[in-house]
Structure 1
């Protein structure tokens, strides 16, 4: 199948490409910048393209006439295009330039594959535009918030986020096809619960149970009931406490050929490493 490149869709002229810069925007806790989170809120998407994308910090990258294309990482080498704009007024350092959209046709819909091997977040388009391979153009009803699986190493979501994401076929498929070790964190108390998933539906099966009732009513492990403390928490404070305070994180994943005994041993190792028996919710 013939590869489709980014400019096959954008149709920029050679002169336009020469004055185009591509910005790969990634979250930074140091400056309280999280474009991925903002992208989930339609009311903040213009801010990403018309402010964050064309912000001039220590250098004037976005001067009059420059075309800017923005991307945010959705997983590994996959990037979602936020938009393409043209600078109409440079407002100086430590200020966003004034910009306008060239088109909004592909905003938050166009996914490309690109291996970013440079620390520089702003690149000249003429050097890399032919390396950006179009993977998918989302339908208008597909959004970053509830559709895209970020990769197993990047899963850490609240109860309500997880419940919504489990409506996505992409999330369900990804979680179903992996066994794993997961961590449940009570953000109110800091207490932890380490669990393992090695049944037919992988991590999906375990997390669907937790979403439904907050704990597993039927799980037995080595003749013991590991969900005792979670059950007591729900009985005492109700499922609403779980919904307000619990976060779900994947620690390790395994393919189907990995023996269950090995996964159980890794689960025990994590319980010891995180001291979730002594200070958390693990009862075994």
Structure 2
């Protein structure tokens, strides 16, 4: 079998790799990488690259623009992995409009290889998109897109790169199935400067550094006493987090960062803490009269105490009362009415 044919077979693999992180440059791991495709590893006589995988799939390198997203806004960057994994609508919106330079490049591209920053000098694969079409939209229409509004709430600061522009091109980037099983697992080395976040595939070489055993976009749930979430983050909680929070019954704390005042609540319903926090995500106040008068964007959520999943509601409320007294969260010093 020719090397290009073997690469084609490798690029078509749908199975999960068996083993830890795989590094093609290492001879032992090169054997494991080849085993993923059920082929002999003899052709791996040089580091495997994103370029070679694209060529093996019949994709011309001059048609591929490679993007390495890393939001400059700290709050958006904090949840960007979640967005890439759980909210494709928001991720698509984020990469659908750009400043003049990237816009001009995308107008020449047929494919977009989407990555996000992993570590310094590396990028993590999200997916390969086909440029399916474009449309020109005005500033107001761009701002009023529902996904755009949600991204603003998550911390995105810009409308588009130049505030002087009255119109912007919106790109329809259709996700392809190309190596979709490596979504969140394929790590490449990023050539050149960190700040240069878009590059043409035919002008740069992107060595494959590793293939992770698990999807790195799926953030593990931290211990309950280390969870601190902003209000805007509640709407984009990963499914793994939602599953755990739906099982946790207990006492939670809301802090208004604008003045430090606190609200203590309890959760013991069907979906426990998740149910209560999603209600805050939806309404901003959860039915509390004092929270209604405040900006939910300033709220921070954490868990004060977990209790037994079958503890009676009366006992949970009793424990909630002890926390209200200890933290002095009752009005007028705090935000609890009673």
TM-score, normalized by length of structure 2?
Answer: 0.42
Q: Which has the larger radius of gyration?
A: 2
After TM superposition, the score normalised by the length of structure 1 is: 0.49
